[in-house]
Structure 1
Amino acid sequence: MCSININDPEHPLSLEELNVLEQVRVRVNDQENAVSVEFTPTIPHCSMATLIGLSIKVKLLRSLPDRFKIDVHITPGTHASEEAVNKQLADKERVAAALENAQLLEVVNQCLTSKTV
């Protein structure tokens, strides 16, 4: 299994260690240039769900060739605000605006920084 090394914004663990991200919920369709990732917040009312989704999306945008369409969304039925979070993550303009916010970008970058052991 390939680790993507994204840290949880509230815990000293990675999203994989918390089972927020699991390989079985990642789908890559090379022929259609598409990547789909479902993530499962640790609790149904997780206030960091949008930030976690944004961090996953940014990691993929930075790691994959531009030809890929990236879809990041909450695993169905696992979050109280699933529809609203998914709508934000699917909106290119909202994602771009979020990444123009220096403070938010700093938090995302912290989530993407490898932990030193």
Structure 2
Amino acid sequence: MDITAINDMFANIRENTDWDLNGDLVWGYFFVNTTPEPLHGLAKVLEGQGYTVVEVFEPELEADEAPYHVLHVERIEVHSEASLDQRNHELQAVAEANGVEDYDGMDVGPVEFAHDPDNR
């Protein structure tokens, strides 16, 4: 996601939600790989950096789609457009350094939607 798309996302949040973009939100980050093993290794690295591992899963696909696996991690934090752009670049680099094929982007929501690591 480039900075223009991030700016659009922030504008959409401001326009269509009552979320406080200057306060804590739960940011979910997603990584994709053909096999799950590199994702499990990356999960351990990200846990050490303060991320909560939500799950590693294989999404349901159409019959003609090649299978793949997804790592979903979260962290409660505050972002501006610039800091989120920087985080995306950092996570892409961490994915590459750990042999993961793709950093697939993020989602965001209010803190009450954060996953409880003890009650997944």
TM range (shorter): 0.3 to 0.5
More strand by share: 2
Identify the structure with bigger relative contact order (alpha carbons < 8 Å, sequence gap 6+): 2
Q: Which has the larger radius of gyration?
A: 2
